[in-house]
Structure 1
């Protein structure tokens, strides 16, 4: 492929700028709303008339703090636990898929992909009824299990691609030197698959963090309600006032962890996805 001409390069820059503008304008609008006071919300200008921290005070110390802060704690704890369990289980499953020959291996991968694209809304009603009967409704475990249904299939599919790239001669060499199968897996295979493990963990965390359907359907109190569900419960100062500013401020706070993870580890994420996409 030859070098791009000046005209082609300019067109690529313009296209990239338009895509970035299309993606960032809604985010910038939410940030702007979060700094608008109650009297300034109906202002049709993009920027606030005068920047105010009123909405952030509302969600951290005001009448919305009782909803937002427990939900933020729940989201962090539930998503981290679900991510950890999904990564550990997918490592063993991906190792077996990549290393062992057994009947139905392709069926396992195909089933994992099918579950990953299965409509979430179809699982809510059966889970709601089952969770009420077994006592898992409105609990952390009652959300962790459905989150595993979201994160585990895509984790298995993604990580199996990384394990296929690992030279298995190194595992055999470790076993020849006296290492057991478990020691070879833990000390040789897992370190080599670290970029894939890290990438899978980031993707799994994003999926769990952004869930709304399970969070709103399987919780009812602050005991386990995550942030996306809590945002729908915000109320204004009066019956006739919409909590637009408080919701925008909470949305900004909730987005910060995702943005920080993407910015801090973007090279490892891209490297991991690239390695996983290359077939040996």
Structure 2
């Protein structure tokens, strides 16, 4: 009779599959960014570039205004994250602390709305932004990005706020703080891991989003990075080495951000899961 694999072996196997699924595409893009188009089309296919070149990275910055795309993406993601976390913190605090009627129903509706496919929101969003004369501006992306990330951010913050004793807020309000002052000076500092987690989730969602950016901000001067990368392709050609180099340029900033805040993000997700 064949022996069943040990649970520990299955865990390592599953971890290996997840790691390969996550890292191999990124490594492939990285290696492709150092190849020439001729080498990329050569058979048999090779993973490691035979003659690494930086010409693709030079062309990334020469052929298109990628610095403008980077700046637009960073500002849109940052401002939408600040707005999202601010509103989500207020909403989570109200659902946890205030006498809001049917808080569970409100949270369920909030999460249900977040499950609508993004494509179903395109036409009403486009018409709204056009009526407000906001097309091809940062607010056209900041407002939808903040709203789309609010349900998840609210849920994350609720799990942290529930663990804060009410006595701390009552003591702050006795000392003269308002309800918002207690939230800002007492609750948020004590739930910093949750705030960082919610902020990173909102920032990454805004940084990576493509469909809304393509629809609501199509002009080159106001494009974000995911949409700007599409400009490197021609009508009948796809310069994959240059596109790969542009993708690496897009990945590096968000990777640095995650690496710097890794402990806070992982700690926030873990604590939120345990407390929730």
User: Alignment partner of 2:232: what SS?
Assistant: coil
1:164-184 deviations in Å (ceiling 9; x for gaps): 111111111223344443332
Contact 2:160 2:275 in 1 (8 A): no
TM-score (norm 1): 0.89
**What residue in structure 1 maps to residue 251 of structure 2?**
255
Number of aligned residue pairs: give it: 270
Change (3 A) 1:216 1:52: same
1:127-152 deviations in Å (ceiling 9; x for gaps): 22332333111111111111122112
2:31 and 2:99 map into 1 onto residues whose CA distance is 55
Contact 1:59 1:246 in 2 (8 A): yes
Q: Does 2:274 align with 1:278? A: yes
User: Alignment partner of 1:171: what SS?
Assistant: helix
**What residue in structure 1 maps to residue 28 of structure 2?**
29
**What residue in structure 2 maps to residue 38 of structure 1?**
37
Contact 2:209 2:226 in 1 (8 A): yes
1:117 to 93, 115, 118: 115
2:128 and 2:93 map into 1 onto residues whose CA distance is 33
Change (3 A) 1:45 1:275: same
Q: Does 2:88 align with 1:71? A: no
**What residue in structure 2 maps to residue 173 of structure 1?**
171
1:24-75 deviations in Å (ceiling 9; x for gaps): 1111111111111232221321111210101100112x223x2x22111110
User: Alignment partner of 2:41: what SS?
Assistant: coil
1:109 and 1:15 map into 2 onto residues whose CA distance is 33
TM-score (norm 2): 0.91
Contact 1:112 1:157 in 2 (8 A): no
Root mean square deviation of aligned Cα: 1.9
How far residue 7 of structure 1 moved from its aligned partner, in angstroms, is 4.4
User: Alignment partner of 1:278: what SS?
Assistant: helix
**What residue in structure 1 maps to residue 156 of structure 2?**
158
Unpaired runs of 5+ in structure 2? none
Unpaired runs of 5+ in structure 1? 1-5
**What residue in structure 2 maps to residue 59 of structure 1?**
60
1:147 and 1:202 map into 2 onto residues whose CA distance is 13
